[in-house]
């Protein structure tokens, strides 16, 4: 039986890391609330006697977040008096995760679980730092609620890469022992399961059913026999989702190597009749052919999402295509911005 999600009353997303930042644009969708980040950024109070022009506060450029190729979302859900916080992916590198968390003014100690969408360095690179900062913040605050749990697919490749003419390797993902060594408890699962009072669901393997969503062309992994082998489908990829009261399924996707249509359809299968509300994250269409973009758009539109929240590897061409085909439906995500789904 599919584990059942419980409805949540509210959902807030802090985008800790994303490829693009946009500190100026207002929210394009009435159901997605966010400050224009210049206005939402922490302001620095100026001491009396050091107030140029009489201004009491300063907007400092070194308090704004940085973009980086990757994704990291801090997702907070509430139901009644209960609140739970989950970190979905940890971005590509430690320095950018640390910097953006500090600049957003977030308390890492609130993170109870980390879910890694798939074994790729642009999602796992900040993981060890995140674990250390979470455990450090909890120790400082005297919160002894147990170790942060890192939820991982059990099949971690030794190395992944892309083969065009010759192999280009990614940096290795953190190893299970390194994650434990940083202070976390590792939970390995390839099955659908819920967590945090059933407010969040993590999928198992995402079925690949469309003919046009074929994973990463040239994807390879280094195997235990010491050879690079074809690995285009990235079968360890998983989605996370919530059921937002009165709205529907809010689906989080790291890179959509399964294809954003396969991801969305699988979320709906797991959701047991709850409508699709939005898909947040990387749609991985930046390098898609025009035909793939068109088919993805048609099939995504047929699922009738109320909002689309693309980021990371989606690519500007698909975002333009969404806006043309579904005017007013899109609220793209940007690094350093807090989104409230109202
Ligand atoms: Fe990615």
Using the mean position of ligand 1's atoms as its centre, give its distance from the Cα of residue 146 in Å. Answer: 30
Residue pair 95/24 in contact (Cβ under 8 Å)? The answer is: no
* Residues around the ion ligand 1 (C-beta < 5 A): 122, 255
Using the mean position of ligand 1's atoms as its centre, give its distance from the Cα of residue 75 in Å. Answer: 18
Using the mean position of ligand 1's atoms as its centre, give its distance from the Cα of residue 79 in Å. Answer: 30
Using the mean position of ligand 1's atoms as its centre, give its distance from the Cα of residue 82 in Å. Answer: 31
Kindly state whether residue 47 falls inside one of the protein's structural domains. no
Q: How many structural domains are present in the chain?
A: 1
What does each of the 342 residues of the chain score in pLDDT, given as a tens digit?
678 899 999 999 999 999 999 989 999 999 999 987 676 667 889 999 999 899 999 988 888 999 999 999 999 999 999 999 999 999 999 999 999 999 999 999 999 999 999 999 999 999 999 999 999 999 999 877 799 999 999 999 999 999 999 999 999 999 999 999 999 999 999 999 999 999 999 999 999 999 999 999 999 999 999 999 999 999 999 999 999 999 999 999 999 999 999 999 999 999 999 999 999 999 999 999 999 999 999 999 999 999 999 999 999 999 999 999 999 999 999 999 999 999
Kindly state whether residue 182 falls inside one of the protein's structural domains. yes
Using the mean position of ligand 1's atoms as its centre, give its distance from the Cα of residue 142 in Å. Answer: 35
The count of other CB atoms within 10 Å of the CB of residue 7 is 15
92 CB-contact burial (10 Å; exposed 0-12 / middle 13-18 / buried 19+): buried
Tracing tokens 């879910």 back to the chain, one arrives at 115
For 7-64, the DSSP string reads EESEEEEEEEE-S---SSPPPSSTTEE---HHHHSPPEEPPTT--GGG-SEE--GGGS
Residue pair 13/250 in contact (Cβ under 8 Å)? The answer is: no
Output the domain CATH number for residue 177. Answer: 3.60.15.10
Using the mean position of ligand 1's atoms as its centre, give its distance from the Cα of residue 282 in Å. Answer: 7
Using the mean position of ligand 1's atoms as its centre, give its distance from the Cα of residue 170 in Å. Answer: 12
**Predicted local confidence at residue 143, as pLDDT:** 77
Kindly state whether residue 55 falls inside one of the protein's structural domains. no
Tracing tokens 């790729």 back to the chain, one arrives at 120
Kindly state whether residue 49 falls inside one of the protein's structural domains. no
Domain coverage including residue 230: 7-36+65-341
Q: Record the pTM.
A: 0.97
Kindly state whether residue 43 falls inside one of the protein's structural domains. no
Using the mean position of ligand 1's atoms as its centre, give its distance from the Cα of residue 313 in Å. Answer: 6
Kindly state whether residue 176 falls inside one of the protein's structural domains. yes
Kindly state whether residue 161 falls inside one of the protein's structural domains. yes
Closest CA to 74 of 305, 266, 336: 336
Using the mean position of ligand 1's atoms as its centre, give its distance from the Cα of residue 215 in Å. Answer: 12
Using the mean position of ligand 1's atoms as its centre, give its distance from the Cα of residue 210 in Å. Answer: 20
**Predicted local confidence at residue 190, as pLDDT:** 98
Going by the DSSP 8-state scheme, the letter that residue 126 receives in this structure is T
Residue pair 271/299 in contact (Cβ under 8 Å)? The answer is: no
Which phi and psi angles does 301 have, rounded to 5°?
-60, -35
Contacting residues for 250 by C-beta, under 8 A, at least 6 apart: 11, 241, 242, 243, 244, 277, 278, 280, 341
**Predicted local confidence at residue 1, as pLDDT:** 62
Kindly state whether residue 48 falls inside one of the protein's structural domains. no
């Amino acid at each position: 039986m599919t584990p059942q999600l419980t409805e949540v009353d509210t959902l807030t997303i802090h985008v800790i890391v994303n490829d693009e930042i946009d500190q100026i644009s207002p929210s394009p969708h009435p159901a997605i609330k966010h400050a224009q980040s210049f206005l939402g950024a922490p302001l620095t109070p100026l001491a009396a006697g050091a107030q140029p022009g009489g201004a009491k506060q300063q907007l400092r450029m070194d308090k704004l977040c940085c973009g980086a190729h990757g994704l990291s979302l801090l997702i907070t859900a509430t139901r009644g008096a209960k609140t739970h916080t989950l970190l979905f992916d940890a971005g590509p590198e430690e320095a950018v995760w640390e910097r953006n968390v500090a600049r957003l003014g977030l308390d890492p100690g609130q993170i109870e679980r980390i879910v890694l969408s798939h074994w790729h360095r642009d999602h796992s690179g900040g993981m060890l730092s995140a674990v250390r900062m979470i455990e450090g913040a909890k120790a400082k605050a005297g919160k002894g609620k147990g170790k942060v749990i890192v939820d991982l697919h059990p099949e971690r490749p030794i190395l992944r890469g892309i083969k065009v003419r010759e192999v280009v390797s990614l940096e290795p993902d953190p190893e299970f022992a390194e994650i434990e060594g940083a202070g976390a408890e590792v939970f390995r699962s390839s099955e659908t399961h819920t967590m945090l009072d059933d407010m969040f669901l993590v999928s198992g393997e995402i079925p690949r059913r469309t003919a046009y969503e074929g994973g990463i062309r040239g994807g390879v992994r280094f195997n235990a026999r010491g050879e690079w082998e074809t690995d285009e489908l990235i079968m360890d990829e998983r989605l996370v989702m919530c059921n937002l009261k009165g709205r529907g399924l809010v689906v989080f996707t790291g890179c959509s190597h399964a294809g954003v249509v396969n991801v969305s359809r699988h979320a709906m299968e797991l959701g047991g009749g709850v409508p699709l509300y939005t898909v947040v994250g990387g749609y991985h269409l930046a390098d898609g052919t025009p035909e793939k973009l068109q088919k993805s758009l048609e099939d995504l539109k047929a699922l009738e999402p109320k909002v689309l929240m693309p980021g990371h590897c989606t690519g500007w061409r698909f975002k333009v295509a969404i806006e043309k085909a579904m005017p007013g439906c899109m609220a793209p995500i940007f690094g350093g911005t807090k989104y409230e789904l109202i």
